[in-house]
Every structure is written in C-alpha cells, then in structure tokens.
C-alpha cells in the first residue's frame, strides 16, 4: 500500500469534533491508502481552541474573523486598540503556511437557528453574526487563491436555507467565481455517523472543477441507534470514577417529581392527566423506599444477616426488637412532665429537676392576662371603640379602616394601561409613585406555541434516539431526560423513593424533601424506570465526541460551558463519513480514474449537458 496524505483545515472549528472525525477517516482506492492530517483550526473561543488541541492533536488559533462594521454591530461598541481585522495571511498562518486539500467551515448558526425568534434574528447583532458565513468563505478563498483547496464543505442548521438565503446566494456566486461546482443538500448527521441522535444539518459542498472530476458521491446512510445502546455501555451516572462530566445535576425536589410523572416518549403535557386536590396528588403516593434492609429491625427469635465491617442501622437490618426492656419507674408512675396542682405540695427538689424529669411544673391559677399586655398589636374594628390611649404608642393604636383606596399611598401599585399614572416624584422607583404599568404589548405568544411544542421536561425512552444535542440542552428546555431502566443498580446515588397507589387510608408519616430543596433523587416512575436528566458526558457520547467506555476532559469546570461547546460541535462520526467519501474522491482524482461505479447519488455535479451521437441525435 502507498500512503497518501490528505490535509484538512477548519474555520469556526469549535472544540474540534469535525477535525477529530476527519483524522479518523481511512479511505482506500486500489493500492492507495489515505492518511488525513489536520493543519489547524480557527475559532474565537479560547477554551474551545484548548479542547481543539486535545481532540485534533494540533494547535488551534484564537482569532476574531469579524470586520470592523460587524464587530460594532455585534458588540455595540468600537473594538479596542489591540484589535485588528483578520486577513487572508492570518488564515495561512493558522494552517502553518501549508495548503489544505479540504476546508471544513462550521460558521456560527445562532442567527439562523429556529431556537431564536424571527424578530431577534433580524437584529443588527445577529445579522452581523450571520455575515460571518460570507466573510469566512471569502477569507479562505483569498488565502489560497493561487492554489485552491480541492474540496470545501460548509455546514450549518437547515434554516440557513431560508433565513440566510441572501447570504447563501452570495456564497454560491463567490465559490463559482473561484471555479467551484456547488451543491446544497440537507443530511441527518445521525444517519451519516450511525448516532443515537437525529441531527439534521445543511451541507453545502463545493468541488474545484479543474482539480476534481465529478464523482464525489454522497455518504451512505445508516439507521439511527437507541440512546440505550450508548448509555448502557457507560458507567452509572454519578460514578466518581467517570469524572465530573458524568455527575447527575442536583434538581429541586418538585422537578424530580415532575420528571417521574412524565411518560417516556412524552413531555410536560403528561402532567395534565394528573388529578390535583388541595395542591396534592390525589391518586398517587410517594414514599421513601428502603434498600438492602436499611433501618431494618430483626425479631427477637430471628437470625441476623452477615455482620459487616460497617453494620449500622441505616444500611441494613442491624437493629433488634428486644422484649426485655422494662420502663423506668419515673415513666411508670407518670412523673415525667408532671404538673403539680396549686393546692398540693411539690415533690422533692432535686439537682436536675426539669419539666421532663418529674413534677417540675405547676398549674398556676393567677394568670388572667395582665392589662399591660392586652392591647399589644391589636387592630380595632371600624365599628368598635378604641382601647385607652396611653403614653405607650405601640399599644392598641391600629384600626381596620375600610376607606383606604390605595391610589395615593399604595406600595408597588401597577397602573392600568388605560388609566392615568400617579404623580411622578423624585422617588418613583421601587414601590412608590408612578412605579409600574400593566403593558399589554409584552409580545408573548398568548397560546405559548413554542412552549407547547418545545418538548420541555421531555423524557426519551431507552430504546429511542434523541433529538439533536443543542448547546443549551437541559432537563427543562427540551427532551433531555431519559427513562433509565437500571434503577435497581443506581438507587444508591441519592435519596430513593417509589411512587404508586396508597396501600392504606392513612399515608405513612415520613419526612420528604421541601419542594425547592436541591438534591439528586431516584424516583421509580410508573414504568419502573428512573426518569433523570442526561449527564454532560452522556450528551458528549451521543455526539460521538467520546466512546461510551471512556472519559472526556474539556477545558474548565462549568457544565453550561461544556454543554454549549458539545452542542455546537460537529459529531466526529458524521465528519468521518464525510471525510471518507471526500478522501475516496481525491484518491481517484490523483490516480487518474475518471469513473467509479456506485449506488450512491453524486453529491456535486456540473449542470447536465446533452451528449451528441455522431449522427447528431441527442443521447
């Protein structure tokens, strides 16, 4: 075999998921074996570039690709004196002054994403971010205009084809002006990489016509996998050996209860079927579940279990019902908490006489409520007489006045949209004066359509794939929890409870967490599984950034920052599939082949032309 090097470079590289996937590709044509080598990557996020070095194995470059107008529009201010616009020479330096054969661009997609409202996407800030797509392509083409890359792949969210249509048209015209044939397609990265998530993405692919013949075929697609096939290979969530990215988030108790009652495959709308009376579940009871005999009590005539080195009441049946207990005389004769009658003599005064140890209390008939304290904090009714006016102004000087209207002195008053405001005073701020208004123009969707269809508090069945891992994936903003069937194995990660129908008329008296108490809890849902949020490491595994059996270390200690970079990443498995077909195409082109038989459709072809036969009849 003859090894042939294929060099690739990444603009808007993120943490390096695309670069990692390209490095893994090993296409082969005849006796030619492709070996991919990453020249580097560029991104504005310094933490992402540190991750890039770990995943891609090559140094990344932190560089702002905005022009000055875009910088001002995005940041709302002028750049600092140390800032300058990036140039094509900067792109060359980031690639080590080498020329790539393939350039992969994954420009910021926030302005095009359906997660952003249409009105916000049109603001100057996000329009400036969107224009980075065009500027990035131009910088790349100018950097290597004397020896252009053979292939270019531009990846983004599918909505760029509508929200960014004017920019895409300019990008296509620019690429064609530099001699590229261009195709716009939409692919499911989950199907390209056989992932456990469906991740539909827009892919624009460009082929340098003079260097590459038209046989760049589309990658093969494969069925999506179930999340359980990935998560089931991982350490149990919360296992310290799996590292901090695999910790279970501490949620409020009421949130754990919500998740437990969301049906697997559904979202918050499952809660609508629950019957609530006086703020309580009518048909269900949640009680602590005891595991491995915790706080168990052995009968006097039963054998004990194995005595372990940490045999305590809380971790097994290590208590006993002892019939030999005889109550002390102090309890038998009723002395404890004894109260002596006013006309009786007391018992012996001891050195430790207290209410709980004997007759240390007395029934005193003399207390009738001293007049001095009879008016404390009293409010007199409007139709009753006042108490005596005394020199002590804190006693009995309040009245329930029915005449109060509240216009003049009402604290935190809210003025109706159609009503006049109160007087504007110098202190019209918190709680007084012309303070607040009931503005009907809030812009909120009265039907809450986005919330109804957003999958909030959604729970994914163990055997189903997830949606696209987003950069802000948490339990309450989409389908980012899973019905984990391994409940019996993981019950020790936190307080464990079970839900079900009551077994008696009277609920057992147990101490349950407060509604807003944060903790890690295991509640056995109706389907017998643990409905819990995905850990950060599990989201990375769904993205194929890490093998399920391995650990992943990203820069920093913030779960939210990790999740943002993970959600923005190109899945390496999907990038590997793309690199495989591109590498095959380059090997064919460099070996002089002009035809390959494939059942896959051609990805990028020139405009179809008629081929004439010798007699002039069209073929």
Residue with tokens 């009714």: 381
Q: Is 619 helix (H, G, I), strand (E, B) or coil?
A: coil
pLDDT at 359: 81
Average pLDDT over residues 312-335: 67
* Residue-level pLDDT at 135: 95
What pLDDT was estimated at residue 368? 56
501 — pLDDT class (breaks 50, 70, 90) = low
- Residue 61: its H or E element: strand 61-62
Query: Within 13 A of 603's CA, how many CA atoms are on the CB side?
Result: 23
For range 292-302, the mean pLDDT: 75
pLDDT value, residue 170: 96
pLDDT surpasses 90 at 148:
yes
- Residue 552 is predicted with a pLDDT of 92
Q: What is the pLDDT of residues 362-375, one digit of tens each?
A: 888 876 555 555 56
> So what's the pLDDT on residue 360?
81
Distance CA(112)–CA(84), nearest Å, equals 26
pLDDT at 63: 97
Q: What is the mean pLDDT of residues 270-296?
A: 78
Q: Which of 224, 250, 245, 249 is nearest to 545 (CA)?
A: 245
Percent of the chain topping pLDDT 70? 79
What's the token pair of residue 66? 């905005």
Of the pLDDT bands very low, low, confident and very high (cuts 50, 70, 90), residue 406 is: low
| Residue of 128 and 422 predicted with greater confidence | 128
**If you average pLDDT over every residue of the chain, what do you get?**
83
Structure tokens of 379? 């409010």
Show the domains of the chain with their CATH numbers: 2-227+569-604 (3.40.50.150), 231-285+455-560 (no CATH), 405-439 (no CATH)
Q: What are the pLDDT digits (tens) for 217-263?
A: 788 899 999 999 999 999 999 888 899 999 999 999 999 999 999 99
Could you tell me which residue, 78 or 292, shows the higher pLDDT?
A: 78
Q: Are strands 200-208 and 151-156 parallel, antiparallel or unpaired?
A: antiparallel
3-class secondary-structure state, position 583: helix
DSSP 238-284: T-GGG-GGGPPP-EEHHHHHHHHHSPTT--GGGGGGS-EETTEESS-
pLDDT bucket at 192, cuts 50 / 70 / 90: very high
Local confidence band at 500 (pLDDT 50, 70, 90 cut-offs): low
Contacts of 466 (CB under 8 A, 6+ apart): 196, 197, 198, 227, 460, 479, 480, 534, 542
Q: What does the pLDDT read at residue 607? A: 35
CA–CA distance, 130 with 145 (Å, rounded to integer): 24
Angstrom distances, CA of residue 531 to CA of 459, 517, 525: 7, 18, 7
Mark 272-293 as b/e (b = at least 16 C-beta within 10 Å). eeeeeeeeeeeebebeebeeee
- Quick one: CA torsion of 17, 20, 22, 27, rounded to 10 degrees? -140
Residue 477: what pLDDT?
87
Q: Does 301 score more than 60 pLDDT?
A: yes
Q: pLDDT for 459-489, tens place per residue? A: 999 999 999 998 888 998 889 999 999 865 6
DSSP alpha helices (H): ranges in 340-448?
none
Tokens representing residue 275 in the block = 């019957």
What gap in Å lies between CA 595 and CA 38, rounded to an integer? 28
Let me know if 153 is exposed, middle or buried by CB neighbors in 10 A (0-12, 13-18, 19+): buried
- What's the confidence (pLDDT) of residue 606? 44
Higher pLDDT, residue 319 or 487: 319
* Helix (H/G/I), strand (E/B), else coil: 155: strand
pLDDT at 503 (0 to 100): 45
- Mean pLDDT computed over 554-576: 94
Q: What mean pLDDT comes out for the span 105-123? A: 78
């Amino acid at each position: 075999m003859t090894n042939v090097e294929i060099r690739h470079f990444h603009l808007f590289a993120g943490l390096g998921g695309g670069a990692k996937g390209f490095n893994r590709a090993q296409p082969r044509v005849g006796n030619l074996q492709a070996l991919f080598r990453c020249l580097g990557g560029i991104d504005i996020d310094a933490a992402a570039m540190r991750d890039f070095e770990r995943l891609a194995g090559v140094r990344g470059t932190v560089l702002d690709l905005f022009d000055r107008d875009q910088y001002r529009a995005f940041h709302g201010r002028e750049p600092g004196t140390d800032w300058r616009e990036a140039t094509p020479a900067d792109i060359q330096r980031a690639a080590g002054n080498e020329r790539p054969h393939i350039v992969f661009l994954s420009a910021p997609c926030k302005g095009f994403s359906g997660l952003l409202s249409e009105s916000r996407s049109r603001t100057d800030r996000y329009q400036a971010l969107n224009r980075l797509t065009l500027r990035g392509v131009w910088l790349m083409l100018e950097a290597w205009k004397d020896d252009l890359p053979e292939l270019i792949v531009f990846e983004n969210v599918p909505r760029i084809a509508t929200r960014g249509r004017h920019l895409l048209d300019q990008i296509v015209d620019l690429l064609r002006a530099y001699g590229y044939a261009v195709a716009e397609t939409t692919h499911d990265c989950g199907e390209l990489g056989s992932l456990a998530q469906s991740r539909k993405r827009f892919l624009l692919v460009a082929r340098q016509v003079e260097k590459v013949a038209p046989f760049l075929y589309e990658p093969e697609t494969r069925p999506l996998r179930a999340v359980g096939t990935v998560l089931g290979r991982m350490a149990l969530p919360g296992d310290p050996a799996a590292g901090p990215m695999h910790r279970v988030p501490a949620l409020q108790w009421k949130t754990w209860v919500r998740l437990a009652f969301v049906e697997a495959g559904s979202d918050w709308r499952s809660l609508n079927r629950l019957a609530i009376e006086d703020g309580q579940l009518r048909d269900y009871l949640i009680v602590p579940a005891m595991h491995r005999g915790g706080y168990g009590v052995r009968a006097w005539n039963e054998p004990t279990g194995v005595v372990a080195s940490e045999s305590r009441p809380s971790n097994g049946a290590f208590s006993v019902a002892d019939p030999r207990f005889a109550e002390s005389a102090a309890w038998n004769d009723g002395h404890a908490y004894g109260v002596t009658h006013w006309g009786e003599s007391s018992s012996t005064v001891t050195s430790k006489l207290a209410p709980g140890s004997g007759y240390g209390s007395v029934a005193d008939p003399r207390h009738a409520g001293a007049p001095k304290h009879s008016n404390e904090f009293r409010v007199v009714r409007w139709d009753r007489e006042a108490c005596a006016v005394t020199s002590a102004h804190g006693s009995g000087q309040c009245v329930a006045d029915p005449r109060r209207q509240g216009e003049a002195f009402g604290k935190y008053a809210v003025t109706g949209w159609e009503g006049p405001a109160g007087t504007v005073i110098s202190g019209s701020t918190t709680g007084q004066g012309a303070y607040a208004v009931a503005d009907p123009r809030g812009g909120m969707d009265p039907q809450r359509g986005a919330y109804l269809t957003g999958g909030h508090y959604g729970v994914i069945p163990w055997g189903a794939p997830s949606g696209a891992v987003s950069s802000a994936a948490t339990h309450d903003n989409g389908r980012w929890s899973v019905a984990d069937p391994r409940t019996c194995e993981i019950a020790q990660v936190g307080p464990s409870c079970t839900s079900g129908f009551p077994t008696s008329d009277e609920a057992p008296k147990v101490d349950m967490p407060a509604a807003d108490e944060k903790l890690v809890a295991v509640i056995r849902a109706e389907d017998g599984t643990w409905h819990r949020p995905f850990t950060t490491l599990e989201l990375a595994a769904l993205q194929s950034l890490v093998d399920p059996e391995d650990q992943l270390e990203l820069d920093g200690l913030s779960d939210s920052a990790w999740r943002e970079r993970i959600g923005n990443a190109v899945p390496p498995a999907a990038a590997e599939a793309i690199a495989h077909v591109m590498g095959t195409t380059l090997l064919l082109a460099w070996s002089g082949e002009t035809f390959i038989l494939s059942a896959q459709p051609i990805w990028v072809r020139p405009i179809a032309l008629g081929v004439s036969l010798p007699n002039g009849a069209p073929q």
